[in-house]
Structure 1
Amino acid sequence: MDLFRKGVHPLEVDYLTTSQNLADTRIKAYVERPASHAERWSDHAPVAAEFDCDTN
């Protein structure tokens, strides 16, 4: 089914991959979403993550 031609524009969520060691330091991860459809920058939703990489 061609959703784009039917007027349905799905949001494609990007993803991150990490090693297990880095994943264990994850503080949070989230999908960035604009406030409204009109403010979308593309059909992709970037994924962001924060890690605690303090080496002390």
Structure 2
Amino acid sequence: MQALVTENTTLKHRVQQLTREHHTRQERLEGARSNLRFAYKRVAAFEAELLEARQR
């Protein structure tokens, strides 16, 4: 019985650790997506500038 209690406690700690890691990765993913959106906007702005310059 003690072995089961020990294993259960170990598994609970592992679940908590994995949950924290998941949360951290979710935050990093959100940041990366935000950075990518910003980069796409910058590229679009540069493309618009190039088109304007070519039309002059």
TM-score, length-normalised on structure 2?
A: 0.25
Return the structure number with greater relative CO, CA threshold 8 A, min gap 6. 1
Larger relative strand fraction: 1
Larger relative helix fraction: 2
Compare CA radii of gyration and give the structure with the larger one: 2
